[in-house]
Every structure is written in C-alpha cells, then in structure tokens.
Amino acid sequence: MYYPEKKVKAFVLALTFFVCSAFVFTGGQVSAGQDYYSGKPAKYVFLFIGDGMGIPHRQAPEIFLAAREGKPFGHYRMTMNTFPSQGVTTTYANDRFIIGSAAAATAISTGYTTNIGFIGMDPELRPVKTVAEMARDSGMKVGIVSSVSIDHATPAAFYAHQPHRSMYHEIAHDLANSGFHYFGGGGFRDPEGKKSKSPKGDALAVARNNGYAIVSNRADFMKLTPGEKIIAYNANLPDGKALPYAMDATADDISLAEFTSRGIELLDNPNGFFMMVEGGKIDWASHANDAVATIYNTLAFDDAVKKAVEFAEKNPDETLIVVTGDHECGGLTLGFAGTKYESAYDVLKGQKISFKVFEAMVRDYREQNAGKASFKDFFSLIEQNFGLKMAGDDHMALEDYELKSLKDAFLLSMAGLREKGRGEDYLMYGDYEPLVVKVTHILNQKAGLAWTSYSHTGAPVTTSAMGVGNAMFNGYYHQSELGKKIMSALGFSPDRPFGQSPAGEAGS
C-alpha cells in the first residue's frame, strides 16, 4: 500500500500527541503551563469572543460579500479565517449540553467547566481566578470590551464572581473593584441596584472612587490618554445598554473596532496587556434569526480582529491573538429545503435595517393604526427595508405561500396579543414579533440560509489563533481547554486542579 509522505507524517504526529497526552493524563501533577506551551510567554494577548458565532456564521459573510460584489465564492476571506491555526471547539456546560454565555465564558476565562448561569465560579459555587485577573496580578494591564452591556455574561466572566449572570448590580460592583485598566463598549444595566435584593450603592460612584474616569461620548473617548483607569461607553445604547446593531450604527457611534484600537493605545505598556473583546450582538441577531444583522455584526467583529492583527504585525514575537465563539446560536445553516442546491445571497442586500429597528416600526404602526391596519398599506415598509416585492418575476417577488404566511404574521402582530414561549406559534416566531421574524425568515430562505432554533445549539465552533504558541489551538477540544491554553501562553496555570478546594479552604 502507498501512503503519501504527508499522511505518514500526520500519523506520526498524531501518535506522538496521543502518547504525550496519555503521559499528561496519567502524570496528573504537570501544570497547565507545561502541558500546552513552554516557550517564552506572550506579552500581548487578545481574546476575541464572537458570541453565538458558529461555523456557518463565519462563512456566510464571505459568501454575502462575494454575491454583493459579483465575485467568485472564495474571493473574500474574513481576517479571523486567515489565521494559521484553526481548531474545533466543543461547547457544553457541566449540567447541560447546550451551553449559555455565562458558563461558556467562565470555561474560557478560568479553564473550568461549570454550570449554566454561573459567572467566574465552579460547579460548587466557589470563585475561580480568571486569566484576566492572573494577568492583572502579574503586572500586565487588562482591557475588557463588548458590544453589549459591559456587565453582560461574557465580559463579566472575566472580572466578576457571582452565582448568576442576572445579578447585574453585584457584577457592576465587581467591575468597579476589579482594578482592570480599560472597560469599553456598552453600558450598565443596574449600577444603582434598583433590581437587586441587597443594593450596595452606586457602582459607578465606587468606580470613580477607585480611580476610574468614566466617558460616555465619542468626543471624550477620542481625547482619552494612557495612564488612568477608564470606563468608556457609547452615548447611544438603544437596547439592553448595548451598542446599536452594526448595520444601524451612524458616524456618531463608536464601533467595536474603535473600542479595540483605542484600547490598544490605552493599554500598551512595557509589562504587556491582556484584552478580551466580545462581539455580543452576533448572538442577539441569531436568536432573532436575522441573517443580515448577524452578517454585518460578524464583519464588524472581524474589523476589530484586524486592529489586533495590525498590532501583532508590529510585535510579531510577543503577541497572541485567539478568536473563538462561545457557542453556536440559532442553528444557522447554509442551505434550505426550498432552495435545494441553489444559493442567492445577493437577495440579502435588500435588507437595510436590523430586525430591531423594524420591530419598532411594526410597533409604531400598530399603535398608530389601531382598528384600521392594512397589509397593503404596511407592505411598502417591507419593500423599502427588505427589498421584497408582492409580485414580479425576479427573485425578490414573493411566492403565493410566502405572501399568505406574511399576511398571517401581519394579522398576529397587529392583534398584539400573543402567548409567548409555547406551541406551534413558538416554532413559527419564537418570542419575537411575528411579522418581523416572518420577513427575515422569508428573505433568509430566498437566499438559501435557514435557522433551526431561537436558542443556542450544541454545534461546535471554530477557534483561530495567530502568534505566540498558536499551534496549540489546532485540534478538537472543549472550550475549557481554551482557557488553559491561553493561560499557558501567558505562563500561568489554572487556579487549582478541577474539583479541588481553593487554597486555604478547609475540608470538602
């Protein structure tokens, strides 16, 4: 039999890896720092987390750009997809196969697989030190950036330790006391403790007392200089204290890429830095099954990745960039029964606004036209903002069954009465405005894209890495390994071996 040389080499490599792994597993005492990487530690580490960003999410934008510009399928490549190392990362929690952002980000930040909703705590609800805290304690500067609120599950899992992600007030206090150097992006959901069982006072006042300068508009943001500790958020935070969807943003809005590039300028120092950047609304758009908003937010996230790559090009031997998703969202797939083997991503360019802005239009129309709502009248808004047409012979024209389903959804939305979360109705629209979901479903399906859920799925994600120790991110591994790999690139080890009590804690 003939084995190509490449295949033989791969087999020998795999065998070596297997033998080494077996040694590490039975050895038990080897620290994570030595398990994965033993070279000179990275001085600058970027961790990008695309929330809800599965594998289809990372190809759809490339095919969309190619279709929009009339180029071949392989013409565009997002920066994250060009990295030399690409791994497959599984994403389950300790107590549920389909994970949420809190447990996922905790696995990535601490190396611990934990329970749904936990922030920076192990399954026994004991706090575990995060890689960001380790970086801070070693004298590096630390930055945390997110396009959703800065107290949301993903960013919180790097600086907070709370039993539940919904404890926004307590999380804000953990932020104020974190000693991290830069927080950028979205705002705070409950700084004053209005929804807390035991309010601890204004978290922003505590932050100011702890030396943070707080800026909330573009002009002040651009004037910031390195030296002080900073909390910076966008002036316009339209939903859940998050940045607007990338496709709805204006020149006044600070982009995720700008929060990242300013972060680099503010954090750069002789001891190095660790920066986590989250693209949080890739997830939100996917929950809502809006492919176009998902695509534009993924492109905005990739623009932020580019800023880190530009920095890495100037500091190639000292920088590590890791890009991952914390889980897949929406069960996005790049095919649909109705379009068989065809794709027509150019139809997506008809969409001009995110589902969120359209949702407000539907609500306004309902309120202003109580008792006299007309589908024909409303349809002009659908045509203007999504490019769909009632009749015609091009592929933007609605089929009879599509038109009927759109009318049904319109009636349901105009009635404004829905029991959420159950039955066939839920399968059709999730907990969203029926007309909004129906419009994006029709447009997405015409393109040859489809969704299977309004929730996360258990589909693995891609992890990409470039720079110091990047090869350790190849392979197939759980996201908790990702946390350990990043720690080892920095010369750190996990807080303690999994299942052991924190140092100094008696018994158990």
What is the contact surface with Zn ion in residues (CB under 5 A)? 283
d(CA 60, CA 243): 22
* CA atoms of 324 and 52, how far apart (whole Å): 10
Angle at 36 between CA 89 and CA 322, to 5 degrees: 45
Q: Which is nearer to Zn ion, 282 or 486 (CB)?
A: 282
Of 60 and 398, which CB lies nearer to Zn ion in the complex structure? 60
Name which of 276 and 490 has its Cβ closer to Zn ion: 276
The closest residue (CB) to Zn ion is 283
DSSP of 190-213, one letter per residue?
A: -TT-TT-SS--S-HHHHHHHTTEE
Nearer CB in complex with Zn ion: 258/290: 290
* Distance from chain centroid for Cα 412: 32
Q: How far is the CB of 20 from Zn ion (least distance, A)?
A: 36
* Residues making up the chain, counted from first to last: 508
223 token code pair? 């004037």
Minimum distance from residue 52 beta carbon to Zn ion (Å) = 5
Q: What is the largest CA-CA distance in the chain?
A: 78
* C-beta of residue 268 within 8 angstroms of C-beta of residue 217: no
CB-nearer residue toward Zn ion: 174 or 283: 283
CB of 103 to Zn ion, least distance (A): 12
Both structure tokens of 353: 């606004």
Name which of 50 and 111 has its Cβ closer to Zn ion.
Answer: 50
- Residue 193 phi, psi dihedral angles, 5° rounding: 80, 25
Query: What span, in angstroms and rounded, lies between the C-alpha atoms of 481 and 460?
Result: 14
Indicate the residue among 62 and 283 with the shorter CB distance to Zn ion: 283
Q: Give the nearest distance from C-beta 289 to Zn ion in angstroms.
A: 13
Residues 6+ apart with CB under 8 A from 1: none
Q: Is 381 exposed, middle or buried (0-12, 13-18, 19+ CB in 10 A)?
A: middle
Q: Report the first-to-last Cα separation within the chain, whole angstroms.
A: 57
CB of 456 to Zn ion, least distance (A): 6
CB atoms within 10 A of CB 456: 25
Judged by beta carbon, residue 152 or residue 181, the one nearer Zn ion is 152
Shortest CB 268 distance to Zn ion, Å: 32
CB of 494 to Zn ion, least distance (A): 26
In the complex with Zn ion, the residue whose CB is nearer, 272 or 430, is 430
CA 433 vs. chain centroid, Å, equals: 23
CA atoms within 13 A on the CB side of 336: 19
Q: Least separation, in Å, of the C-beta of 339 and Zn ion?
A: 27
- Decide whether 258 or 283 has the Cβ nearer to Zn ion: 283
Shortest Cβ distance from residue 97 to Zn ion (Å)? 15
Kindly give the interhelix angle for 479-489 and 101-110, rounded to the nearest 10 degrees: 30
Please say which residue, 133 or 283, places its beta carbon nearer to Zn ion: 283
DSSP 8-state assignment for residue 147: S
Ordered DSSP codes for 70-136: T--TTS---GGGG-SEEEEEE---SS-SS--HHHHHHHHHHS----TT-BSB-TTS-B---HHHHHH
Q: Is 396 helix (H, G, I), strand (E, B) or coil?
A: coil
Both tokens of 352, joined, read 């001009």
Q: For residue 347, which amino acid is it?
A: V
